[in-house]
Amino acid sequence: MTDLDQVRLSGSRCSECGETSLGRTSLCANCGRETVSEISLSKRGTLWTYTVVRHRPPGDYKGPDPFVPFGLGLVELPDGLRVLAPIQCDIGQLKIGLAVQFKPFVRRESDGREIVSFAFELVP
Ligand SMILES: [Zn+2]
């Protein structure tokens, strides 16, 4: 097991209304109360919908050069939220309802720094 295997997405859940959101927050996005606590989000989810990005995104795109089309999906997690992320698979395999799993990875910046980023991949 590597350190990357320990990486999970963080979320926040409100104990009053049950709203779950991505990342750490101090206020509930639904009811505005401060009754939120941090949770680790599930590693597996379902591809709720997707699109195929067929043109190199503008700006500081970090993907392969030359550009390779990729899937960008909304993954529905059992925790009660959807997360937007690249879907790492052959774009011909993309299909709504597929089981996918969280996949953290390390990306090296041009200045040598290492950044932990994430995508989802098909469950084998
Ligand atoms: Zn709430």
CA of 17 to the centre of ligand 1 (A): 4
The CA distance from 75 to 98, in Å, is 9
Provide CB contacts within 8 A for 47, sequence distance 6+: 73, 74, 75, 76, 87, 94, 95, 96, 97, 98, 99, 100, 120
CA of 43 to the centre of ligand 1 (A): 23
pLDDT in tens, 53-100: 999 999 888 888 899 999 999 999 999 999 999 999 999 999 999 999
CA of 76 to the centre of ligand 1 (A): 20
For residues 60 and 101, the model is more confident at: 101
CA of 59 to the centre of ligand 1 (A): 36
pLDDT in tens, 2-16: 788 899 999 999 999
> Order of strands across the sheet with 20-22?
20-22, 10-14, 36-40
pTM, whole model, 2 decimals? 0.89
Query: Per the structure block, which two tokens stand in for 36?
Result: 């939120």
b/e burial code for range 90-105 (CB count within 10 A of at least 16 → b): eeeebeeebebebbbe
- DSSP H helices, 30-84, are none
Residue in this structure with the two tokens 């709720």, named with its chain if needed: 48
